Amino acid sequence: MVIYEVNAAVDEDVAPAYEAWLHGHIRQMLAFDGFVRASVFTPDSGAPGRRHFTVHYHVSDRTHLDDYLRRHAAAMRADGINRFGDRFATDRRILSEIAAFK
């Protein structure tokens, strides 16, 4: 399992529209092969005037994630940029599971 993490800092005045868009965006992401589920988080604190969202996409393996990044990521990212321009900023990271405990 791989976690594809996307962190977004969104201007407060467009945050409600961004969050509504984000839910549909996540549904689109989950249609890609290997994307199993997603969780959305918001931190207790963040930069004033901005709302922060963290999305964890659970992807079955690195091969499926690499396929998404190579074939679909640019178009998926462009949709948010076209809608919200410079009213948000994102960063991403990939977390590879090395151990799991119950």
Ordered per-residue pLDDT tens for the chain, 102 residues:
999 999 999 999 999 999 999 999 999 999 999 999 999 999 887 678 899 999 999 999 999 999 999 999 999 999 999 999 999 999 999 999 999 899
Q: How far is CA 18 from the centre of its chain?
A: 12
Six-digit token string for 4 = 């594809």
Pairing of strands 2-11, 50-59: antiparallel
Tell me, yes or no, whether 101 lies in a domain. Answer: no
Domain that holds residue 13: 2-96
Pairing of strands 2-11, 35-41: unpaired
Domains: count for the chain:
1
Tell me, yes or no, whether 57 lies in a domain. Answer: yes
The pLDDT, as a whole number, for residue 66 is 98
pTM equals: 0.93
The pLDDT, as a whole number, for residue 45 is 76
CATH code: domain of residue 14: 3.30.70.100
- Do the beta carbons of residue 20 and residue 11 sit within 8 Å? no
